[in-house]
Amino acid sequence: DADVTQTPRNRITKTGKRIMLECSQTKGHDRMYWYRQDPGLGLQLIYYSFDVKDINKGEISDGYSVSRQAQAKFSLSLESAIPNQTALYFCATSDPRRSSYNEQFFGPGTRLTVL
Amino acid sequence: SQQGEEDPQALSIQEGENATMNCSYKTSINNLQWYRQNSGRGLVHLILIRSNEREKHSGRLRVTLDTSKKSSSLLITASRAADTASYFCATDGGYQKVTFGIGTKLQVIP
C-alpha cells in the first residue's frame, strides 16, 4: 500500500550495530504497528502505538525500541543488532473509526540481514 | 503464541480448481480477517467476517465462520495463477490489536 512507506527496503548490517527502520503513513491513521516475519512463523507483533503518547510492547519486544515522532511516523530501532534479528519487518496502520474495524494496512517491508 | 493456525500450511492446485484454507483459533473474537501476501511483500486485507456472521462473499472469495468450533475457512473459487500467494487469518479479540496465524502458502499451477 503506497500510503504506508518504509525505509530502507533492504539493509545488511553487522552484529552490534545500531539500526533504525522508519515508517511513514499518509492515511491519517492513529494506530501504527511493527511486525516481524520469519519463515514458517507468520507475523509477530513487536510494538504498537495507538497515538503519539501511547506505546505498547507486543509479543517480542526484547532487543527492540520504538519512537512515535508524530502521528504519521513510527520508527523501530535495534540498539545492538544480533543475527537472529534477521527477518522481514513490516509496519502497519489501522484506524477503527475510519475503516472496517481493525483492518491493517501494511507497508512494503524492510528486509534486514544481520551478519 | 499465535492465535490463529492455518491448515494446510501449503497447498498446490491446478488453475480453475477451488482452493480451501482453514483457520482455527483459541479464544473468543470480535471478528476474523483474511489477508494475502505476495512473496516478500506487505499483506493486503481481503475480507473481514464479524463474530455474529456465518458466511461472507467477496467476488471469488467465500469466508465462513463457526464460532462454536472456533474455526474459519477461506474458499477461493476458480483459482488463477495470479492467486498464488500466502494467505493469513488474523483474529481481533477486541483488545485493539489483531493476531496473525502462520499462513497457508497457495500455489496455483497454470
Q: What is the pLDDT of residues A69-89, one digit of tens each?
A: 999 999 999 999 999 999 999
d(C-alpha B46, C-alpha B39), whole Å: 16
User: Which of B100, B104, B105 should we substitute to test contact with A (largest number of A Cβ atoms within 10 Å)?
Assistant: B100
Q: Which residue has the cell 498446490?
A: B12
Share of chain A above pLDDT 70, in %: 95
Q: Mark yes or no for CB contact A43/B31 under 8 Å.
A: no
- C-alpha B29 chain-centroid distance: 15
* Distance in Å, alpha carbon of B3 to nearest chain A alpha carbon: 11
What is the band of A96 on the pLDDT scale with cuts at 50, 70, 90? Answer: confident
The whole-number pLDDT of residue A98 equals: 65
The whole-number pLDDT of residue B40 equals: 81
Q: Mark yes or no for CB contact B41/A102 under 8 Å.
A: no
Q: What share of chain A is helix, strand, coil (3-state, %, to 5)?
A: 5, 55, 40
The whole-number pLDDT of residue B1 equals: 41
B43 closest CB neighbour out of A40, A102, A106: A106
Nearest residue of A to residue B46, measured between CA atoms: A103
The whole-number pLDDT of residue A42 equals: 83
* Pair B65, B55: CB distance under 8 Å: yes
Q: Enter the C-alpha cell of residue A100.
A: 472496517
Cα-based angle B26, A104, A44 (whole degrees, multiple of 5):
50
d(C-alpha A63, C-alpha B37), whole Å: 26
Q: Enter the C-alpha cell of residue B82.
A: 495470479
